[in-house]
Amino acid sequence: MTQRKAVWAQLVPMPGETLASVAQGYEAAGVAGMWAPQMFGAPFTTLAAAAPVTERIKLGTGIALAFVRSPLETACSAIDLDLISNGRVVLGLGSSAQSQIEGSFGSTYGKPLAHMREIVGMIREIVARGHTGELTQLEGEYHRLDLSHFRLLQPPVRSDIPIVLPAVFQKACAQAGEIADGLLGHPLWNDAWIEREVIANLKTGLDRSGRARKDFSLNISIFTAIAEDRREALEDCRPTVAYYSQSPQYLRYFEEIGFGREAAAIQAAFARGDDVAMTAACTDAMVESIAIVGSADEVRARVEKRAMHADAITPVIPHYGLSPEKSAAYSKRIADIFYG
């Protein structure tokens, strides 16, 4: 499978020397790209540190929160990073949860599909024409930019930086197919959801844009825990699956895949700040439906099935509640099986 699918890794903030070593290690191992996520800090900083110490590996914001900064700032950050990296940027943009955007960041959420469409359009305009002096007013429902006096100092490395959108639900998959260059699948997706909902809705979006499937990239993120002790791997994934399930916006998704009651209990526990109850409400069946756990052979077979329709995969370790030693061990096992 790894001969047919590109493999991406995740790069998080860390001390500079360590970050350089990790990024160079990914490149040497044949990893196609690195996603730097945005939890709170912007991912552009991490990727800017990785760019000068690598040569070929793609640098993806996976995912930059689109609604928490101006489209101009996002576009300029992508343009600058593309210059630093000599044209290796993939701009991943996501909406995140309304509670995070409005609560933690104090930004406007609005109608996320319409908001995202507006931002993507503005960013494409700025990247393509920000150096020509042609831009004047970019006006939408959420953003009104007066760029009459704005001008980049030089043309960008590329006039069209690839944009990737993430998705949980059907309409977001269709929108990615219509207006983006790629779709980064949510690690909460399970096999049935991809087969039943993702592929059909992606095709709907591609048909709207008049593009063929070969002109688009589908990358599947997967929580992955490789261990001979299957029970240990399952328990290590449980807190991560529970944490990622806490948003009330995702309840409909869990109802549609058969875990609505579990998700409702997780979300109620999160609302009252009860981490123990969150983890307890996340059943074995829920963990195993979403995360891929087990021996190397088991994981390899299940990943191959899940990624059947994908162009690339991003296996990620469970993050929550693991010791540094366990995190390192799980990361090494992913590397041993999927890199190179």
DSSP 207-275: HHHT--GGGSEEEEEEEEEE-SSHHHHHHHHHHHHHHHT--GGGHHHHHHTT-HHHHHHHHHHHHTT-H
What CATH number did the domain enclosing 322 receive?
3.20.20.30
Q: What is the model's pLDDT at position 1?
A: 43
SS3 label, residue 85: coil
Q: Is residue 259 part of a domain?
A: no
> Distances in Å between the alpha carbon of 288 and those of 163, 190, 299, 335?
31, 9, 11, 21
Global pTM? 0.94
Q: Is residue 85 part of a domain?
A: yes
In terms of Cβ atoms closer than 10 Å to its own Cβ (0-12, 13-18, 19+), residue 11 is buried
Domain count, the chain: 1
Q: Is residue 300 part of a domain?
A: yes
> Which residues sit opposite 19 in a β-bridge?
none
Q: Is residue 199 part of a domain?
A: yes
Q: Is residue 181 part of a domain?
A: yes
The span from the CA of 53 to the CA of 288, in Å, is 38
Neighbours of 165 (CB within 10 A): 27
Strand pairing report for 137-139 and 89-94: unpaired
Q: Which domain holds residue 33?
A: 6-223+296-338
Q: Is residue 236 part of a domain?
A: no
Q: Is residue 240 part of a domain?
A: no
Q: Give the residues of the chain that fall short of pLDDT 70.
A: 1-3
Q: What is the model's pLDDT at position 2?
A: 43
Q: Is residue 174 part of a domain?
A: yes
The span from the CA of 180 to the CA of 206, in Å, is 9
